[in-house]
Amino acid sequence: MEKSGLAEFNVKIVESCLVPPCLPLPRYTLYLSSLHNQPLVRINSNALLVYEGCENVLADPAKTIREALSKVLVYYYPLAGRLRKKEDGKLQLECTGEGVLFVEAMVDNSLSVLGDLDKLEPSFKKLLFRFPSDAAIEDVHPIVIQVNHFICGGFVVAVSFQHMVCDGRGIGQFLKGLGEMARGHIKPSTEPVWDRELLRPRNISVHNLELTKEKIESTSNSWIPPIYKESTQMSLNLDLETIKYVKDGIMLECLDNCTTFEIVAALVWQASTKVLEIPHTQNVSISFAVDARTSFNPPLPNGYYGNGVVAADAQAIAHDVINKPLSYLVNIIKKTKMSLTNEYLRSIIDTDGFSSDQANISLSDWRWLGFNEVDFGSGSPVNICPIYWNENGPNISNGFDFIHSPKRKCDAFKVIAWMPPQEFNLVEIEIKAITNKYVINASKC
């Protein structure tokens, strides 16, 4: 898929309907845990999955996916229901069997109009059905799927899901199951497990309260990010060779291994802190989503598709974030990840101790959610892109996602950002300056 400067196209809705499970199912209400009620997941998450036209392309992808959807919902029946608010304001899920909203659309252009989805253009929002921003939560479907046919034979599957029902890994599991049913499987290879009850709170103890108090107090003297009038979804690419140079350099500095994610988080943290001109005496944090499924004791079962994500906040004084070596930040990030023990996670659930404050900087890792494995019968997607958009523009400030680059750029990763264009350009310059130091040092060895 080649880049193009053109980003204008028209989308015509062919059909919009509810797709219920193909078998009748009982109607009852399901419990949602504190992890499903925390402020950070009370959002819609959206993704575009791009499938290129080829000899094996589906003759009618919308028909194939719609029929498979009715079959897979027999196993993922809660997703055909609706969210409901209890008297205390918390959410639960009513299994109504109403179905998933399915939209079929035609696009008057070829996939080349999308380029590599490096920048979110206004036309792109036509590919995704969106409920009004003031819609009641009871009226918003847990999942919406829109299949967009392009004139080249390719298609884009746009998925919108309520994060209060399942996290990215959960929806990735669902989509892989949907793809399997589209390819003729009798049932999904991974059996879905609801089991939100495993995350019920225990009896609150003094120890629990102290852990939560410590978490809240640790955010004091933190820099409060401004509210931007304009934010744009843009992206930068990091090639694997450069990441390897940085990783090798950091390992020499701290004599310890580190992951690619920890390097990217440290780069984003340091570069953004410089660009945002945060006062040097204030705390600055980077919040990153951690899949805590295996951190619980016992671990959440295989096939669990609910929210297993917890926000981890790595914090330091702005002066140190800017001036210390990258290995210093990597070490803080590693320690923050290690602090998410079973006891800490349980104590947070016990006390609903989730902060509703906006993070200074946030980063999510989309590489392992499973979207790149979703195959409806014509192969895996050639590109995947998260898309966050409300009526007034992107709903995230200083937010970053770490994803795989398009298939044709298999030697790189992509970092997507939501921030004003001028700040983003400066962040990109800073990241290149930081990584270039490691590249230069490696060439001297």
Is residue 206 over pLDDT 60?
Answer: no
Predicted pLDDT of residue 387: 87
Q: Rounded distance, CA 94 to CA 161, Å?
A: 16
Q: Is 35 helix (H, G, I), strand (E, B) or coil?
A: helix
Q: Which two tokens stand for residue 274?
A: 């410089």
Q: What is the per-residue pLDDT across 264-305, written as a single tens digit (0 to 9) for each?
A: 999 999 999 999 888 889 999 999 989 999 999 999 999 999
Is residue 353 over pLDDT 60?
Answer: no
Look at 147-151, 223-227, 277-281 and tell me which has the smallest mean pLDDT: 223-227
User: Are the C-beta atoms of residues 285 and 315 closer than 8 Å to each other?
Assistant: yes
Predicted pLDDT of residue 392: 47
- Is 141 tagged catalytic? no
Across residues 260-264, what is the average pLDDT? 94
User: Are the C-beta atoms of residues 142 and 82 closer than 8 Å to each other?
Assistant: yes
Look at 18-27, 127-136, 144-153, 361-370 and tell me which has the smallest mean pLDDT: 127-136
Q: Domains of the chain (ranges plus CATH)?
A: 11-199 (3.30.559.10), 206-368+388-444 (3.30.559.10)
* DSSP summary character for residue 358: P
Q: Which of 141, 163, 167, 313 is catalytic?
A: 163
Look at 34-43, 113-122, 199-208 and tell me which has the smallest mean pLDDT: 199-208
Average pLDDT value for the chain: 86
Instruction: Kindly indicate the confidence band of residue 215, based on its pLDDT and cuts at 50, 70 and 90.
Output: low
Is residue 159 over pLDDT 90?
Answer: yes
Predicted pLDDT of residue 416: 92
**Highest averaged pLDDT of the listed ranges 57-61, 88-92, 136-140:** 88-92
* Locus of tokens 């989503």: 289
User: Are the C-beta atoms of residues 191 and 174 closer than 8 Å to each other?
Assistant: no
Across residues 388-410, what is the average pLDDT? 71
Is residue 324 over pLDDT 70?
Answer: yes
pTM over 0.75? The answer is yes
Q: Which of 195, 291, 357, 375 is catalytic?
A: 375
Predicted pLDDT of residue 5: 46
Q: Rounded distance, CA 373 to CA 322, Å?
A: 38
Look at 65-74, 81-90, 221-230, 255-264 and tell me which has the smallest mean pLDDT: 221-230
Predicted pLDDT of residue 133: 73
Q: Rounded distance, CA 444 to CA 280, Å?
A: 33
- Is 319 tagged catalytic? no
Write the single-letter amino acid at 169: R
Predicted pLDDT of residue 4: 43
Q: Rounded distance, CA 156 to CA 111, Å?
A: 9
* Exposure class string for 76-110: b at 16+ Cβ within 10 A, else e: bbbbbbbbeeeeeeebbbbbbbebbbbbbbebebb
**Nearest partner of 282 among 219, 363, 357, judged by Cα:** 219
Write the single-letter amino acid at 107: V
Note the helical H segments in 115-259.
Answer: 168-182, 206-217, 240-254
Instruction: Residue 422: count other Cβ atoms within 10 Å of its Cβ.
Output: 11
Helix (H) / strand (E) containing 146: strand 143-150
Predicted pLDDT of residue 213: 47
Q: What percent of the chain has pLDDT over 70?
A: 87
Instruction: Residue 367: count other Cβ atoms within 10 Å of its Cβ.
Output: 17
Instruction: Kindly indicate the confidence band of residue 177, based on its pLDDT and cuts at 50, 70 and 90.
Output: very high
Predicted pLDDT of residue 54: 66
User: Are the C-beta atoms of residues 91 and 137 closer than 8 Å to each other?
Assistant: yes
Across residues 40-67, what is the average pLDDT? 85
